[in-house]
Amino acid sequence: MLIATFGPATGWNGKTITREGDAFILEGHGPISAADIMEHDRQGNLVWANDGTRAWVGAKATGPWTSRAAAPPTAVASAAATRPTSQARAAPGVANRRPALPRRAPSKRLLLTVVAGLIVVAVIAAAVAPRLLHGGGNLTPTQIYEKHVGGVVEIQTTFPATYDIWGEQTGGGEALGTGFVVSKDGYILTNAHVVSENGQAVSTVTVIFNGGGSQGRRVQGTVVDADESHDVALIKVDPGQTPRLVPIPLGDSSKASVGEAVVAIGNPLGLGSSLSLGVVSATNRDLESPNGATISGGIQTDAAINPGNSGGPLIDATGHVIGINFQIESMSGGNEGIGFAVPINTAIRVMKQMMKADALAQ
């Protein structure tokens, strides 16, 4: 049953509100609460087409409402189309309305119904609001890639050579990893093992912007700090030497759920700006860090992760980073569908401490 039509004062101009049982349905949107309808009525955004239903709505919501404006011909015609023919012929104007019935105190059953409805709405809002705040719902892998590939970087590092007591070289060489931009002033998040090894820091860091229209743009970076116990490191570059820095938004790893879709963007085996798709296979895994410490709350995924992906973002369907890809479980040394990520909540906590110390040192 049609009860109202939106006027030109809103973005919903011409859309209708109908009633199906106890539910109000906004055309092209879905269920809408009686309280929302009353609010639009107060602001003069609704053209009422059915006074009987309007009075019923008033009983479902609290508070006064304004007098309805005369329905334009289009609204009356729409209302008539939903009524029996005999009722359409006698569609009343404002002047022909029946006198409003005196209001009665709401019954206890009605109040309980309203309270129950508000609870349901609150539960739905609590579940939907985070995703609405994160961009309005799920993104496709292509959309995630196009939106965030410019914020994912390749990290090439050089370790200084070390020698044993016999003069044989035991360390040094080059390493490859991934990182991602977390601030416009040049901070890049990655894994500690990308920039340090057994407490030995790298001698050089080169950050390469392979995506976002800046193919192969190379800049020098400095290691702000590296925490091997959590396998988190922070690199900083000069924004004046880089393409426009677009940080990738950070999510909440405690909300990750088994089965939800995720993507990993990185540089596996040196193949820049690669995307792999999978799901969260498990949560709350205990992971072993490079120095043997335990990282709790780890995320397991079947998204393909290979050497070179370390330090890259694991991104959920809302486009938010929920983990830093850091190791695989493999019998062959390659991807076998068991990868792990440091939870982003842990990384954020460590990162904030590093940023604070860096700001004090400047």
Average pLDDT over residues 111-124: 74
The pLDDT of residue 64: 42
Can you name the residues that pair with 205 across neighbouring β-strands? 157
Phi and psi (nearest 5°) for 256?
A: -65, 140
Q: Is the pLDDT of residue 86 over 50?
A: no
pLDDT at 77: 38
Query: What are the tokens at 239?
Result: 């924004």
Q: Is there a contact between 58 and 31 (Cβ–Cβ < 8 Å)?
A: no
CB atoms within 10 A of CB 242: 19
Choice between 74 and 179, residue whose per-residue pLDDT is larger: 179
* Through-space distance between the first and last CA atoms of the chain, rounded to whole angstroms: 67
Q: Give bridge partners of residue 155 from the DSSP assignment.
A: 177, 207
Q: Could you give the domains of the chain?
A: 2-102 (no CATH), 149-241 (2.40.10.10), 253-361 (2.40.10.10)
Tell me, what amino acid is at 174? E
Is there a contact between 294 and 286 (Cβ–Cβ < 8 Å)?
yes
Token digits of residue 181: 């931009």
Instruction: Band the pLDDT of 149: cuts 50, 70, 90.
Output: very high
Could you tell me the two tokens for 345? 């909540």
Give the per-residue pLDDT at 203.
Answer: 86
State whether residue 287 is helix, strand or coil.
Answer: strand
Residue 24 CB neighbours (<10 A): 21
8 Å CB contact between 51 and 91: no
Which residues are marked as active site?
A: 193, 231, 310
Q: Check if the beta carbon of residue 57 is closer than 8 Å to that of residue 29.
A: no
pLDDT, residue 344, reads 98
% of the chain at pLDDT higher than 70: 70
Only one residue has tokens 């239903």, namely: 53
* pTM reported for the whole predicted model: 0.62
pLDDT, residue 127, reads 55
Burial (0-12, 13-18, 19+ Cβ within 10 Å), 79: buried
- Mean pLDDT calculated for residue range 126-150: 72
The reported pLDDT for the residue numbered 83 is: 41
Please check the confidence at residue 126 and state whether its pLDDT lies above 80. no
Contact between residue 233 and residue 195 where contact means Cβ atoms under 8 Å apart: yes
Report whether pLDDT(164) > 90. no
- pLDDT (tens digit, 9 = 90+) per residue, 188-210? 999 999 998 877 788 899 999 98
Q: Give the pLDDT of residue 329.
A: 75
Please give the mean pLDDT across all residues of the chain.
79
Q: What is the pLDDT of residues 289-299, one digit of tens each?
A: 989 999 999 99
pLDDT at residue 139 greater than cutoff 60: yes
- What's the DSSP call for residue 250? B
Confidence check: pLDDT of 182 > 50: yes
- Report residue 39 CA to chain centroid gap: 29
Mean pLDDT of 44-52: 67
Q: Is it the case that residue 135 has pLDDT exceeding 50?
A: no
CA-based R_g, the chain, Å: 30
Average pLDDT over residues 347-352: 97
